[in-house]
Every structure is written in structure tokens, then in C-alpha cells.
Amino acid sequence: MSLLVVGSVAFDSIDTPHGKVERVLGGSGTYLSYAASLYTDVRLIGVVGDDFTDEHMSVLKKRGIDLSGLKRVKGKTFFWHGRYFSDMNERETLKVDLNVFGEYEPELPEKFRDSEYVFLANARPALQMKVREQLKKPRLVFCDTMDLWIETKRDELVKLLGMVDGVVLNDGEARKLTENKCPTLIAAGRRIMGMGPRYVIIKKGEHGALLLAKEGVFATAAYPLEHVFDPTGAGDTFGGGVLGYLAKTGDLSFENLKKAIIHGTIVASFTVEKFSLDRLKEIGQRDLEKRYEEMAAMMRFC
Ligand code: AMP
């Protein structure tokens, strides 16, 4: 089964304590679709400007990602500049230029409207909703979000949560969305389930992730890395691994959801080892399998 992804396709400038890069390929839709393409066929929809070259396109095309819904229009591609501190779990946004992404009104090509697996990657909630509304009868729709939308578009975001099956967000966002009223992340996750999604996945950076569903709760550690080079895209590629694996297997049992979370964890662990998509470009099935086995061995205790 293929996975439909909508999100930002961007140029990122990133400052970390280990070095900097300027205008490298990034964006929530880019990272998510690239990660998911390790598992299944991917269709990416979004918008780029005329500064987005054929060479950039070919990075995604090489992975077999269907770009027929990625529009190239006059103007500049979305730009994001972020900086990390010595604690790599903390970052600040130095600049965001929405450019052509600001006015983007997604129009799903007819052939994508019957997509069964869909990830609405980080973008304005109204844009994510517009895509959700054009889907005929999806089997599983997930969305991601960020603190900016919780602060500035809360009502739209809550409406979107009523239209999706699952949401992926980080611990700080879960606390913010529940107005710091929940004593634990589990309580926050349950409250978010009350807003609509039957699956809530809370990412905790180097401390792993939590899955809440009506069947139960699953908690995993992160893959233990000694050095994190650049965390950009970790959350998106986590989502790409989760939904890519679910679309590939078509099995939505709780047991399989747990495996999907481990796949998300593993793909994210590769992402943070280099800038942009550089590490993901190098890996294949054997690398994924090796880390999957290591995670299984690490978490087995009886
Ligand atoms: P992550 O590190 O997984 O949270 O995602 C980082 C990516 O999100 C970067 O490549 C940015 O280009 C992209 N991004 C940052 N801000 C926004 C935004 N407001 N809307 C969409 N994408 C964004």
C-alpha cells in the first residue's frame, strides 16, 4: 500500500555545536516521505519555488517518491533556520520564511483521493484539514503538529484532531495542548485521545516514545546513541517510519503498532547522525534490520 504525505518541502539552515549548514534540503514533508520510502511507495504533495532545482527533485525521485502532486511555482521555497544548544533536545527557530508555502492551497490530484494511508505532516492545521477533506475513504490518517500551531491556531488544531485517527507530537507539545493541566504524559495522552484520535504517540527525544491506544499503552526507549549530530527531522522521520511500516504491513493490531513505533525509532536514530537526509541516503534494509534486532535484544528481559 502506498502512503500519501503532505507537508513542507524546505531549505533549512542549521546551526549545531558540531557545525553549520546552509540551505540544505529539509521540510516536514521531505523528511517524512523520504523515511517512509524505506518501507513503502510514497506520494508527496506540496509546493516549492523556482529555486528548487531538478537536482533537488531527483533526490526524492531516486527513492521512487511520486512527485506528481508536488507543485513548482514562481517564487521562493519555504525556508527555516534553526539553532541547537549543547543539550540537543533544545532548539530555537531563528527565521521562518513561508514563501510559496504560505499561500499554498492543496489540491489533491484525482488519482490520490483514494489513498488509504495518509500522513498530514507539520503544516498549518487549515492546510492539513483541506487535504483530509479531499480524501474519499482513508483507512488510517495521522497528523503531526508543533508548538506554533498550538499557540496560534488552537481551535483549528482541535478541529483537525477530530478528523484524524492518530497524532504524533512531542512531550512539550502534549503538555501545551493540554494546557499543563495533566500531571503525567500518560494523562495528557488520554486527554488528547478525548479530542478525537484513537492513537496518540508522544515523542520524548532521547528518552524514547509512548503510544496510547484503547488497547493499552506501549513505551519504548530511543535507540541508544552516544553522539547526536543534528536532530532536525527526527520527529518527521519517526512518523515516516511508523506510517511507512503500517502501510507496508496493512496490520493495525496493537502488536503491530508497537513494531511500527520501533521502526520509527530506528529511522529517527539514523537521521540524527548527519545533516539533512545525508545519513538516510546511505542506509538500506540490512541497516534497519540490524538496529531492529538490537532494539529487540535491548528490550527483552525475560
Ligand atoms: P522536526 O525536527 O522533525 O521537528 O522537523 C524539522 C523540519 O520542520 C525542518 O526541516 C523545517 O523545514 C520544518 N519546519 C519548521 N517549521 C515549520 C513550519 N512552521 N511548518 C512546516 N514545516 C516546518
- Reading the chain (302 residues) residue by residue, the pLDDT tens digits are 899 999 999 999 999 998 999 999 999 999 999 999 999 999 999 999 999 999 999 999 999 999 999 999 999 999 999 999 988 888 999 999 999 999 999 999 999 999 999 999 999 999 999 999 999 999 999 999 999 999 999 999 999 999 999 999 999 999 999 999 999 999 999 999 999 999 999 999 999 999 999 999 999 999 999 999 999 999 999 999 999 999 999 999 999 999 999 999 999 999 999 999 999 999 999 999 999 999 999 999 98
Q: Which whole-number Å values give the CA distances from 272 to 106, 226, 236, 254, 267, in the listed order?
A: 30, 11, 11, 28, 9
Q: What are the strands, taking DSSP E only, across 98-155? A: 117-120, 140-144
Give the atom of ligand 1 at the shortest distance from the alpha carbon of 12: 12
Give the atom of ligand 1 at the shortest distance from the alpha carbon of 237: 3
Evaluate: CB of 26 within 6 angstroms of ligand 1. Answer: yes
Rounded to whole angstroms, the Cα distance separating 220 from 222 reads 7
Kindly report, residue by residue over 151-203, the tens digit of the pLDDT: 999 999 999 999 999 999 999 999 999 999 999 999 999 999 999 999 999 99
Q: Which residue's alpha carbon is at the smallest distance from atom 6 of ligand 1? A: 233
Evaluate: CB of 236 within 6 angstroms of ligand 1. Answer: yes
Evaluate: CB of 12 within 6 angstroms of ligand 1. Answer: yes
Evaluate: CB of 144 within 6 angstroms of ligand 1. Answer: no
Evaluate: CB of 239 within 6 angstroms of ligand 1. Answer: no
Given the DSSP bridges, would you call strands 10-16 and 19-26 parallel, antiparallel or unpaired?
antiparallel
